[in-house]
Structure 1
Amino acid sequence: MTDWKVLAIHYGTAVRPVGELGLEAGDPHDAPGRIEYFVWLIRHGERLILVDTGFSPQEAERRGRTMLIHPVEALRQLGISASSITDVVITHLHYDHAGNLADFPEALFHLQDREMAYGTGRCMCHDRLRRPFAVDAVVDAVRLTFSGRVCFHDGNGEIMEGLTIHLVGGHSRGLQVVRLDDGNDVVVIASDALHFQRFLEHDDVFPLFADYADVLEGYRTLRELSGPSGVLVPGHDPAVLTSFPSLSPDLAFAKVLR
């Protein structure tokens, strides 16, 4: 269980019409499509970095999503307590990426200035733009800010040597991706800058976005960040479950990315 650098933790799933997912398969109004939900765990030096915190059980019920395992319970089964997480990178404040923030009492949270401004500003007066946000998650982020536990970033930044964040935007105005380069391997956690791998191949776009052009420009950025031999991990692709090995048969929810 010690021979890993980056894990994708599969915590939730849902079946939705492909028209809602931006996928083409027969009649987009009728055909079902599967979307998977992940958080990511990075071990780098003496630090344990969690990328996103998943949706809460309450949001899962409200939105008709299936929580397969609570992210905190998944960590516990990996032998990791929530209090041992040193850093949490919030790629963006959507409900499925920023729930459960209060469950990590010792972590420093990394968030883009633009994302906080977006999730608490005038854009949230519009139903379509606020739909993927959960007010409780946003309020939790504000509470963490007032307690001095949010490190805000204005564009690209460094968490520690070899671990960087990169502002992409598009899907949400302050969406950031995470790049690990330990000198041997490169892993780019795309989160919702790339929902499904096939989007990159055809310049397709998930139908919910803040800026269409920024989504497409983000694909170019992802290619540059991963380079010719790096691992680029999409945020919701079922193929992640078959493309990467499980940590062990008993821990099939944890996929080893590196």
Structure 2
Amino acid sequence: MSGRWEVLALRYATLDSTLLSVPLDADVHDRMGRMDYFVWVVRDGARVILVDTGFSEAAARARGRTLLRHPVAALASIGIAAEDVADVVITHLHYDHAGNLAAFPNARFHLQDKEMTFATGRYMVHKPIRRPFDVDDVVAAVRLVYREQVVFHDGDYVLAPGVAAHLIGGHSMGLQVLTVEGPRRVVVASDALHLTRLMDRDDAFPVLFDYPATLEGYRRLRELAGEDGIILPGHDPEVLSLWPPVAASDPDTVRIG
């Protein structure tokens, strides 16, 4: 390893609810305008850390999302084979972040204790709380526990020199984010920040476990980023226009920093 981490954002799906007739009781994601769906790669030479695993074609059909490419195909487009991924950080167990787990047979999955407790515990008897989860994905995560492929964490930890994870909570009980050291520190915020505009106006995305913790999470993201760091939101279409593509032929994969 060279100690020079590269951060890539790979868009794999999208939703443009401005084109939909959206009922008032719909999933709130359907009322936010365009939202993009990403997985993230943190790599230093041959060392690859995948952040989240996206959703499948079946999940896209079930939830009315447009799957642009399967996350595994997105990784293949930058030369990463799923079976070669050694570490996967699951920021939280919502369907759009924790599908396709079985596609990474040789990986260690890093998950917060609180997130597994949340996804498999008493709160899931309430439909509005379990809506962002897919039971098959949660069961797949439990199977990985029994296969000894899950590394549980209780709070902040160092994943590799220059890469650390931080428990934020708020949106989901065990939501974690990554910080990656480089010329500018990158905070892979995932759903601690869905859209940059929400933090700019101190507003919360209305799918959450703990409202005050969500707002406190913004303060924590700013602290982690420091004065000139980059906070990378989880669903903001502006990511693709703010950062350069890795190749002209692949505008859906951008390099951060």
TM above 0.5: yes
Q: What is the DSSP-based 3-state SS (H/G/I as helix, E as strand, rest coil) of the residue aligned with 1:43?
A: strand
Superposed counterparts of 1:20-31, under 5 Å: none
Mark the runs of 5 or more structure 2 residues left unpaired by the alignment: none
Deviation, structure 1 residue 185: 2.8
1:181 aligns with 2:181: yes
Say whether residues 1:242 and 2:222 are aligned partners: no
Give the direction of change, closer, same or farther, for the CA distance of 1:53–1:99 in structure 2 (3 Å limit): same
Contact 1:4 1:256 in 2 (8 A): no
Contact 2:7–2:41 under 8 Å retained in 1: yes
- Matched residue SS, 2:33: strand
Partner residue, 1:131: 131
In the aligned structure 2, how far is the partner of 1:211 from the partner of 1:56?
A: 28
Instruction: Tell me which amino acid in the other structure corresponds to 2:191.
Output: D
Q: How does 1:1-258 map to 2 (within 5 A)?
A: 5-16=6-17, 33-44=33-44, 46-182=46-182, 184-258=183-257
Contact 2:14 2:66 in 1 (8 A): yes
Could you state the TM-score of these two structures normalised by the residue count of structure 1? Answer: 0.92
Residue 78 of structure 1 and its aligned partner are, at CA, apart by: 1.1
Query: Which aligned segments of 4 or more residues in structure 1 are displaced greater than 4 angstroms?
Result: 17-23
CA contact (8 A) 1:89 1:109 kept: yes
The 1:22–1:32 alpha-carbon spacing in structure 2 relative to 1, beyond 3 Å, is: closer
Q: Is the 8 A contact 1:196 1:236 kept in 2?
A: yes
- Between the aligned partners of 1:16 and 1:153, the Cα distance in structure 2 is 36
Q: SS of 2:17's equivalent?
A: strand
Whole-angstrom CA distance in 2 between matches of 1:38 and 1:216: 22
| 2:51–2:89 contact (8 Å) kept in structure 1 | yes
Give, in angstroms, the shift of residue 194 of structure 1.
0.3
Q: For residue 15 of structure 2, what is the amino acid of its counterpart?
A: A
Separation in structure 1 between the aligned mates of residue 115 and residue 61 of structure 2, nearest angstrom:
25
CA contact (8 A) 1:21 1:207 kept: no
Measured after TM superposition, the shift of residue 187 of structure 1 is 0.6
* Distance in structure 2 (CA, Å) of the matches to 1:21 and 1:157: 33
Counterparts of 2:91 and 2:68 in 1: how far apart (Å)?
A: 21
Aligned partners of 1:251, 1:32: CA distance in 2, in Å?
26
> What is the Cα deviation at residue 39 of structure 1?
0.4
Give a deviation string over 1:190-238, Cα, whole Å, max 9, x none.
0000000011111111111000000000000000001111111000001
The share of aligned pairs that are identical, in percent, is 53
CA distance in 2, matches of 1:46, 1:69: 24
Further displaced range: 75-84 or 93-102: 75-84
Alpha-carbon deviation of 1:16?
2.5
Pick which of 218-227 and 246-255 moved more. Answer: 246-255
TM norm structure 2: 0.92
CA distance in 1, matches of 2:179, 2:102: 25
Please tell me the residue identity of whatever aligns with 1:130.
R
Q: Which residue of 2 aligns with 1:26?
A: none
Work out the CA distance in 2 between the residues paired with 1:79 and 1:158: 26
CA-atom RMSD in angstroms: 2.0
Q: Does the aligned pair in 2 maintain the 1:163–1:179 contact within 8 Å? A: yes
Shift of 1:119: 0.2
| 1:21 and 1:206 in contact (8 A); partners too | no
8 Å contact kept, 1:14–1:66: yes
